[in-house]
């Protein structure tokens, strides 16, 4: 097991050697290795020469340098990219924080309780230097505002000491170049529903005469960062492709509308594949005796496990819908299978439907949600990784060929079709503006009531199909025959 210590440095020649020494000598939990990833942010006072000498003396140091001064957030971003440890800890090079407290910070992570641990300067129990009143009030005020917007109860949002599981930290895009890194990472950790712990730490703060760099202007910018990342759901780095889907559809009112539409067709024993981070799972799992949420992405599996850790009727398990062996032990186990936003990504939709059919009991119900309308396929679909969009006839033929009888089929979210066409086919955009998505989400109550009046097809297609064989199962699909109106296969 390895700890990556991430150290952004800028013009700290008087203290950097001492800080590096303390970091390298700090006691770590038993059998834990360390690496010190230092990023010099284009220092101009001789700091880099000192760091270069230290890197030659200590093999644990990995040294990088920016060609121009970009700010703490940019330096941390570079250090995150270079980190190779299991855990990543951010350490300033100014001696305000004590490396002797690493073991305390790591304990909740090593015990499996936390995904991130923040060291709090304001929790009781540790010594701290008494600093100017207004500086402390500004820090506490920013923490209060951050808590209000991200719905956490932190005591110290601005703390330097933040420790993460490295795989999770690497998956979060960092956009802030300066001190906005702190509120940004807190807001995104909250939206990603990471398990965050706080532990008390000591603090030996500097005055501005002693070299402190953060100022009141950074406090104002932090407020802007809090509001920006409250509004914008920029939660996954580019390599995690389906995270883009969560950014686009992770709108609560839209998801609640979708859940209301699906709920009448859901039975008591449910299998959901492609569960993502649990946006739909959390809305449908209530009152079900058994709900299995399957996902293949390790980061999404982690989010699911966190979210449903104490939900006894929800079981989270790794399932790749394109691997029949992942479902082999679930044959004839469920009365309902959900396949939402999955078939457009896979190479062989028929094989996925066939595997889900095997997991269903006789007469079990399969509920499918896919992108609707071949003519809408464009730049947005390619950006999301879609291999196809479906027509109603395509979906019906697919389900029929795998032993299902389609009972209901309808377009969903007709209000979304015109802007998708404009963005994807006319403008050639690779994404939809997130403020536009927020506005749409806030007005879903209006669009959902007009959906039946709009004369064009929906952005998505919902199909409810029954596995052939035997009498209908009570309580599944048939109890709400009018909830999803039948569409002609010619649509």
What phi, psi does 51 have (nearest 5°)? -65, -40
Report the percent of the chain where pLDDT is more than 90: 69
Task: Give the pLDDT score at 122.
Answer: 87
Task: Give the pLDDT score at 58.
Answer: 96
| Mean pLDDT along residues 359-366 | 95
The pTM is what?
Answer: 0.69
Sheet (strand 61-65) strand order: 61-65, 33-40, 2-9, 87-90, 162-165, 116-120, 196-200
Which pLDDT band, with edges at 50, 70 and 90, does 238 fall under? low
Which pLDDT band, with edges at 50, 70 and 90, does 214 fall under? low
In whole angstroms, give the CA distance from residue 303 to residue 275.
10
Task: Give the pLDDT score at 418.
Answer: 94
Residue recorded with tokens 């995904």: 115
User: C-alpha 70: how far from its chain's center?
Assistant: 26
Strands 116-120 and 162-165 come out as antiparallel
Task: Say if residue 239's pLDDT is above 80.
Answer: no
The secondary structure of 54-81 as a DSSP string is HHHH-TTEEEEE-SS---HHHHHHHHHH
* CB neighbours of residue 46 within 10 Å: 12
User: C-alpha 281: how far from its chain's center?
Assistant: 15
In whole angstroms, give the CA distance from residue 388 to residue 381.
8
| Mean pLDDT along residues 43-66 | 96
Task: Give the pLDDT score at 244.
Answer: 46
In whole angstroms, give the CA distance from residue 444 to residue 100.
52
Return the higher-pLDDT residue of 344 and 212.
Answer: 344
| Mean pLDDT along residues 459-464 | 96
pLDDT digits (tens, 9 = 90+) for 89-110: 999 998 889 999 999 999 999 9
In whole angstroms, give the CA distance from residue 72 to residue 9.
8
In whole angstroms, give the CA distance from residue 419 to residue 412.
14
| Mean pLDDT along residues 332-341 | 95
| Mean pLDDT along residues 154-181 | 91
pLDDT digits (tens, 9 = 90+) for 255-275: 899 999 999 999 999 999 999
Task: Give the pLDDT score at 483.
Answer: 37
Residue count (the chain): 491
Architecture of the CATH domain 2-231: Alpha-Beta Complex (3.90)
In whole angstroms, give the CA distance from residue 363 to residue 466.
6
In whole angstroms, give the CA distance from residue 483 to residue 35.
58
- Average pLDDT taken over every residue of the chain: 87
Task: Give the pLDDT score at 249.
Answer: 43
| Mean pLDDT along residues 439-463 | 92
Residue recorded with tokens 């009991």: 361
Task: Give the pLDDT score at 126.
Answer: 64
| Mean pLDDT along residues 112-117 | 91
Please name the fold of domain 242-480: Rossmann fold (3.40.50)
- The residues near 171 (Cβ < 8 Å, ≥ 6 apart) are 236, 237, 239, 240, 243, 299
Identify the H or E element spanning 369: strand 360-371
- Token readout for 341 is 């936003």
Report the percent of the chain where pLDDT is more than 70: 89
In whole angstroms, give the CA distance from residue 299 to residue 170.
11
| Mean pLDDT along residues 482-489 | 40
Three-class SS of residue 408?
strand
Task: Give the pLDDT score at 471.
Answer: 53
- The residues near 155 (Cβ < 8 Å, ≥ 6 apart) are 120, 122, 123, 143, 198
CA torsion angle 36 42 43 48 (round to 10): 50
Task: Say if residue 473's pLDDT is above 50.
Answer: no
| CA angle, 358 then 359 then 360, to 5° | 90
Domain map of the chain by residue range? Answer: 2-231, 242-480
- Compute the half-sphere exposure of residue 435: CA atoms within 13 Å on the CB side of its CA: 2
Task: Give the pLDDT score at 491.
Answer: 36
Task: Say if residue 486's pLDDT is above 80.
Answer: no
Which pLDDT band, with edges at 50, 70 and 90, does 241 fall under? very low
Task: Say if residue 217's pLDDT is above 90.
Answer: no
Task: Say if residue 478's pLDDT is above 60.
Answer: no
Return the higher-pLDDT residue of 374 and 112.
Answer: 374
Task: Give the pLDDT score at 247.
Answer: 47
| Mean pLDDT along residues 271-289 | 91
Which pLDDT band, with edges at 50, 70 and 90, does 482 fall under? very low
Task: Say if residue 481's pLDDT is above 80.
Answer: no
Task: Give the pLDDT score at 397.
Answer: 96
Q: Measuring CA to CA, which residue among 106, 282, 72 is closest to residue 178?
A: 72
DSSP 390: B
Identify the H or E element spanning 22: helix 16-25
Task: Say if residue 16's pLDDT is above 80.
Answer: yes
- Token readout for 279 is 């946006």
Task: Give the pLDDT score at 129.
Answer: 65
Task: Give the pLDDT score at 127.
Answer: 61
Return the higher-pLDDT residue of 294 and 251.
Answer: 294
What phi, psi does 490 have (nearest 5°)? -85, -10
In whole angstroms, give the CA distance from residue 365 to residue 360.
7
């Amino acid at each position: 097991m390895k700890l990556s210590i991430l150290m952004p440095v800028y013009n700290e020649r008087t203290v950097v050697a001492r800080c590096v020494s303390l970091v390298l000598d700090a006691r770590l939990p038993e059998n834990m290795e360390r690496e010190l990833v230092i990023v010099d942010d284009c220092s101009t006072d001789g700091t880099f020469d000192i760091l270069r000498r230290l890197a030659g003396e200590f093999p644990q140091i990995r040294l990088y340098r920016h060609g121009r001064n970009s700010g703490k957030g940019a330096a941390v971003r570079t250090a995150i990219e270079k980190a190779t440890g299991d855990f990543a800890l951010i350490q300033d090079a100014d001696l305000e924080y004590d490396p002797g407290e690493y073991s305390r910070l790591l304990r909740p992570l090593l015990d499996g309780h936390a995904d991130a641990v923040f060291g709090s300067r304001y929790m009781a129990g540790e010594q701290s230097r008494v600093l100017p009143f207004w500086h402390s009030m500004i820090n506490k005020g920013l923490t209060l505002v951050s808590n209000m917007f991200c719905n956490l109860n932190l005591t110290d949002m601005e703390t330097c000491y933040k420790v993460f599981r490295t795989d999770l930290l690497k998956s979060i895009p960092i956009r802030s170049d300066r001190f906005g890194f702190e509120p940004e990472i807190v807001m995104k950790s909250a939206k990603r529903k990471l398990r965050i712990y706080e532990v008390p730490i000591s603090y030996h703060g500097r005055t501005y005469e002693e070299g402190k760099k953060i100022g009141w202007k950074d406090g104002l910018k932090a407020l802007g960062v809090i509001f920006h990342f409250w509004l914008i759901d920029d939660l996954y780095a580019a390599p995690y492709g389906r995270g883009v889907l969560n950014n686009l559809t992770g709108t609560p009112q839209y998801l609640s509308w979708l859940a209301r539409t699906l709920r009448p067709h859901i039975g008591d024993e449910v299998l959901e594949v492609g569960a993502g981070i649990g946006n739909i799972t959390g809305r449908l799992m209530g009152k079900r005796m058994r709900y299995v949420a399957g996902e293949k992405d390790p980061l999404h599996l982690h989010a699911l496990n966190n979210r449903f850790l104490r939900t006894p009727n929800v079981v989270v398990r790794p399932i790749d819908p394109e691997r029949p062996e992942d479902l082999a032990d679930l044959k004839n186990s469920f009365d309902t299978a959900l396949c939402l936003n999955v078939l457009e990504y896979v190479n062989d939709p028929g094989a996925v439907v066939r595997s889900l059919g095997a997991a269903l009991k006789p007469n079990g119900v399969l509920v499918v949600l896919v992108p609707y309308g071949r003519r809408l396929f464009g730049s947005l679909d390619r950006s999301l990784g879609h291999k196809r969009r479906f027509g109603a006839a395509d979906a019906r033929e697919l389900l029929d060929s795998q032993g299902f009888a389609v009972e209901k089929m309808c377009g969903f979210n007709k209000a979304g079709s015109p802007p998708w066409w404009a963005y994807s086919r006319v403008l050639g955009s690779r994404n939809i503006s997130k403020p536009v998505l927020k506005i749409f989400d806030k007005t879903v109550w209006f669009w959902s009531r007009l959906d039946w009046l709009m004369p064009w097809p929906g952005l998505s297609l919902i199909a409810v199909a029954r596995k052939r064989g035997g009498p209908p199962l009570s309580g599944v699909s048939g109890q709400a025959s009018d909830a999803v109106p039948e569409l002609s296969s010619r649509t």
